[in-house]
Amino acid sequence: MIKFTDVQKYYGSFHALHDINLEIKDGETVVLIGPSGSGKSTLLRTINGLETVESGQLIVDGQDVASSATNLNKLRTNVGMVFQHFNLYNNKTILENITLAPKIVLKRGDKENREIAEKLLERVGLADQINKYPSQLSGGQQQRIAIARSLAMNPLAILFDEPTSALDPEMVGSVLDVMREIASNKEYTTLVVTHEMDFARAVADRVIFMADGRILEDAPTDKFFDHPESERARKFLSQVEHH
């Protein structure tokens, strides 16, 4: 589904991603962890072309993301993204937030669009909020709406970029529960950047540990948490698990 080959990314002279070689299979749930500034979010954002890559090859669903021939807007309809901050339209109702992109991009009719939105709101536990506005909801509820909005496009893959890091602690659980359900169904290829180690342990098929723009470990979840190979990963885990 997603394949990085020798991918490099720079910001000016700063080398943000070094020699990224990575394959993610269809339906797999992969969690990216590592210290802040390690390149996790940058890597995630290259997958739907929000960040460009300087060299190497990045293939997503058979398309070369870096190629000028690739229609990034079309690619992004297949790759949903949920950000730290919810990016909802404050002047539109929850229903309008979820149905706007499918209506414009997928040309989905109003009746079907509403039915899908209602199903998704039920899935994220917010069916009763359909006519409210984002400002009337808590941060955790808004993030669950953002997830529903992403799923409304019927993507092949869904990227979560630290979706709980801006939330109050008591809101985090409800968002992680929704993400857990999505990951367990295997209907999407799911990539998650998170600091929530219990969540990573519970849902990931694989864990990728990054530091300084490099992938230091790529291992099955149990193996990574029980027997991390690099000193850097051991140190990171001892810090976060006793945090």
How many domains is the chain built from? Answer: 1
Please report whether residue 43 resides in a domain. yes
- Say what the pLDDT of residue 52 is: 92
Please report whether residue 133 resides in a domain. no
pLDDT at 243 over 70: no
Q: DSSP letter string over 39-103?
A: SHHHHHHHHTTSS--SEEEEEETTEETT-TTS-HHHHHHHEEEE-SS----TTS-HHHHHHHHHH
Task: Report in angstroms the alpha-carbon separations of 33 from 125, 138, 165, 171.
Answer: 28, 26, 13, 21
Instruction: Identify the top-confidence range among 55-59, 83-87, 166-170.
Output: 55-59
Q: What is the CATH number of the domain that holds 162?
A: 3.40.50.300
Per DSSP, helices labelled H in 161-207 are: 169-185, 197-203
Average model confidence (pLDDT) for the chain? Answer: 94
Domain that holds residue 228: 2-88+158-241
Residue range 64-85: mean pLDDT, rounded: 89
Please report whether residue 114 resides in a domain. no
Given CA atoms 122, 124, 142, 110 in this order, what sign does their dihedral have?
Answer: negative
Residue 217 near residue 226 (C-beta atoms within 8 A):
no
- Say what the pLDDT of residue 236 is: 94
pLDDT at 121 over 60: yes
- Say what the pLDDT of residue 86 is: 86
Residue range 165-187: mean pLDDT, rounded: 91
pLDDT digits 0-9 by tens, 8-22 = 999 999 999 999 999
pLDDT at 162 over 90: yes
